[in-house]
Amino acid sequence: MWARLSGVPLLWLIVTLLAYQAARAVYRRSNLNPCANPVLLCVTFVGGLLLLTGTSHETYFDNVRLLHVLLGPATVALAIPLHDQLGRLKTMLFPLLLAVLCGSITAIASAVSIGWALGASPEVLLALAPKSATMAIAIGIADTTGAPVALFALTVTMTGISGAVMARGLLGLLRIDDPAVRGVAIGTTAHAIGTAQAFQENDTAGAFAALAMGLTGILTALLVPTLAAAVGRT
């Protein structure tokens, strides 16, 4: 039966969409508990099903290519809510840009430094570097650096999920209550998955998270190829 089903075009696209809808239902029933993040639940379920059925990543990716194509437009569309925050944005543009710049450099440097200290190969170091860029940009970076796309996708996904799970509690512990500041922090570190989590808080946090995510992606796309060139010379 599975041999017949596996030949159905877009099978894994349907499975992924259904799994995500089920994960969202669980998330709502849990009163938006960060540990029940829908992306985390969906990835866990689909990944387990891939292992159980012996399905390769290449086969899965071919089935869900449409989602990959839509990543770019979906990322751009996140700028729409920011239009309502233009007044607030003008008053905090410089500190926002400075915060995103520092956050992007810190994200890259910390990941690469920890990987290097643990003896990671240059290939793994390059895959760790863009972990805080959104997936659409990270995939593009993978094409320029030559590192495996699957490894890029893994580090980006893990960063987004962990950021979405930890952000609310950590920011609350630090007593950071301003929605715009919370959004910038989440968008800089946890890209699209974190931005979706920020929209669960309120539209202001989501809008600033989307802006920070886009700026982080641009900076990462500029910085990581430079790092790749440096790694290639060593």
Residues 215 and 176 in one domain: yes
CA distance 223 to 153: 18
Looking at the predicted structure, is the pLDDT value of residue 233 above 50?
A: no
Q: 62 — alpha (psi -120 to 50), left (phi > 0) or beta?
A: alpha
Residues 127 and 37 in one domain: no
Range of the structural domain that residue 25 is part of: 1-63
Q: What is the mean pLDDT of the chain?
A: 82
Query: Does the pTM of the predicted model rise above 0.85?
Result: no
Residues 28 and 131 in one domain: no
Terminal CA-CA length for the chain: 51
Could you say which of 12, 40, 63 is where a domain stops?
A: 63
Query: Which secondary-structure segment (H or E) carries 89?
Result: helix 86-91
43-98 pLDDT per residue, tens: 899 999 989 988 887 888 888 888 877 877 877 777 787 777 888 888 888 888 99
Residues 6+ apart with CB under 8 A from 23: 36, 38, 39, 40, 41, 42, 45
- Tell me, yes or no, whether 161 lies in a domain: yes
97-150 pLDDT per residue, tens: 999 999 889 988 888 888 889 888 887 888 888 888 877 777 777 777 766 777
CA distance 116 to 125: 7
Looking at the predicted structure, is the pLDDT value of residue 223 above 80?
A: yes
